[in-house]
Structure formats: C-alpha cells, structure tokens
Copies of this chain bind each other. A is one copy, B any other.
C-alpha cells in the first residue's frame, strides 16, 4: 500500500512541470488573491492509512464541495422526500452556467447545480434550529475536526455580488419551491460555500461517502442506500457540464469547487482530495483534474 505514496509523489512531480496552471476564479477578491502555484493532494484508504504531498494541510475555500455536505445532511434529516423538490439528472447545459434554464417548473435538475443546492439549503433552513451553526457542527462532526470554520469575508463578498444566485432563487421561489425568505436562504447558502478546509480535512469528511456512511470514528451518518445515491449524483453531476468528461477520464464519483478543490472516492477503497486554484474553462481545477486522471490511470483503480 506504500505504493500510493509513490504515486502521489510522481504525480506531484509530473504536474509541477506544467506551466499553464489555469485561471484563478476572480469574481470576488478573496478568491482572486490565492497563489496559483499551490498544490496539495491527500489520500486516505479505508484502513485509515493516509498519504499526502504538497500543500495538503493548507485551508482553502471549498465552495461547491459544500454541496456534498448539505445534500448529505438534508438526506439524513428528511430522507427520500427531498427528491420531490430536486431532480437527479445531469444538467448538460453548455450554454448557461447559471442553469436557470434547468429549473423546470421550479424543480432544479440536480442538487449540485447552484439552483439545486439553494433548494437543499431551503430544506435545511426549515429543519435546522440554527442553520449556520448546525450545518457547521455537522461538517465538523463528519470530519472529526472542530477547527473547521466559515470565512465570513468570503460569505459577505458572495452575498454582495451573487446576482445570479438571487436570480435562480427568486425564479424557484416563483414556483413555490423555496419555502423560506429568499435572502435568508441565500445568506445560509453563501456561508456553506465559504467553508475553509484543507485536502486532509476534506478527505477525512468524505470518508463517510467511501465507507458506507460510517465516519472514521465509527459513527453512522447515512445508510448504504443513501450513500449509493449521493455517490451516483457525484458521478453524474459533480463537475458542472464536465461530469461526463470526468467520469470518462477519471472514473470516480467526486465534487469540485471554484476554489480549486476536488474530492473523489472509490467506494470501500479510498478517498482523495486535491487542491490547485487555477481552473480550466469549465470551472474545475485544471491541475486537480490531471492529478486524479493520473492517479486512476497509474493505479488502475476506478469504478469502471
């Protein structure tokens, strides 16, 4: 199993030579100022052995990766009823990064486009006593790490400039599929996206998705059926309109964020997180995608 460490080192060396590291997200200053040369990778196998390289311990803004946590928490609270309010089909829309087109009669295409995650936030907002605090507590618990926190500056920045999310939320509200106040729901949503976590922390948290819903400390958060569903959605919808390409090249369920993080997993085998802030034209970490492609090619391990 030491093999994993060798592979991570090799990948890190290979990718170091690539000069074009993509384009850092710039729509808010807090993301724009991150150093493009950062790279971290952290792999945790089911036996809880871990392997790492680069800046795997440094926190970054997880952004849309938080959608995996909010879906997980909503599913554990509400159960299968959440599928009445959000669909599970890939979005497939190459034209509209807002995915407004994809909100059919107020039902977003899946929980990993912004529109879908906003509906999930509305569901959580209804069921959690103190939404922001309770969601943070959930992530800390899953990751077994109380140092995880929101970055309030990022949340406030997104709130100020997130017009497309306001557009999506209001459109959904017009169909009655948001039950709470639009501003309240969006404020909660922006806080979720603002979580700062390292590759290590993300991998620890995703252990539940790899290990049948049971965390590293042995606590069960979700049943196997729910895990199967979350992993299926990660595979078909986890990478914006590049999901097909990721399944095709990497072959693992996963979730990416515009902060440059990606987490992926092979059920019952391992989970792995990468971080490199430069994005490709479709909004996923350029170097992170390559790292995971090399990982599954070199190890021959994928779900297919």
Chain B nearest Cβ from A181, distance in angstroms: 11
Chain B nearest Cβ from A126, distance in angstroms: 18
Chain B nearest Cβ from A36, distance in angstroms: 25
A232 touches B253 (CB 8 A): no
The CA-CA distance from A174 to B158 in the complex, in Å, is 12
Chain B nearest Cβ from A74, distance in angstroms: 15
Of the stretches A43-51, A237-245, A255-263, A283-291, the one at the interface is: A237-245
Of B164, B174, B248, B303, the contact of A229 (CB 8 Å cutoff): B248
Chain B nearest Cβ from A68, distance in angstroms: 14
Give the residue name and chain of the B residue nearest to A96 (CB): B101
User: A182: which B residues are within 8 A, CB to CB?
Assistant: 163, 166
Of the stretches A86-94, A139-147, A148-156, the one at the interface is: A86-94
Give the residue name and chain of the B residue nearest to A92 (CB): B92
Of the stretches A16-24, A129-137, A220-228, the one at the interface is: A220-228
Indicate the size class of the contact surface on chain A. Answer: 35 or more
B247 touches A98 (CB 8 A): no
Chain B nearest Cβ from A91, distance in angstroms: 6
Chain B nearest Cβ from A175, distance in angstroms: 9
The CA-CA distance from A253 to B232 in the complex, in Å, is 11
The dominant DSSP class at the A interface is helix
Chain B nearest Cβ from A243, distance in angstroms: 7
Known contacts A243-B236, A248-B233, A304-B228: A90-B88 contact under CB 8 Å: no
A170 CB within 8 Å of chain B: yes
Chain B nearest Cβ from A173, distance in angstroms: 4
The CA-CA distance from A145 to B237 in the complex, in Å, is 38
The CA-CA distance from A62 to B166 in the complex, in Å, is 28
User: A101: which B residues are within 8 A, CB to CB?
Assistant: 100-101
Known pairs A90-B92, A110-B244, A237-B244 / 5 extra A-B pairs, C-beta < 8 Å: A163-B170, A224-B300, A227-B304, A232-B248, A235-B236
Q: What 9 A-B pairs are tightest by C-beta distance, nearest first?
A: A92-B92, A90-B90, A163-B174, A231-B304, A89-B244, A167-B170, A166-B170, A167-B171, A232-B247
The interface of chain A, by Cβ under 8 A from chain B, is 87-94, 98, 100-102, 104, 109-110, 163-164, 166-171, 173-174, 182, 224-225, 227-229, 231-233, 235-237, 241-245, 247-248, 251, 253, 267, 297, 300, 302-304
Pairs A–B under 8 Å by Cβ, sample size 28: A88-B245, A89-B242, A89-B245, A90-B92, A90-B243, A92-B109, A98-B171, A98-B174, A100-B101, A100-B167, A110-B244, A163-B171, A167-B167, A167-B170, A167-B174, A170-B170, A224-B300, A227-B304, A228-B248, A231-B304, A232-B248, A232-B251, A235-B236, A236-B243, A236-B248, A237-B244, A267-B304, A303-B303
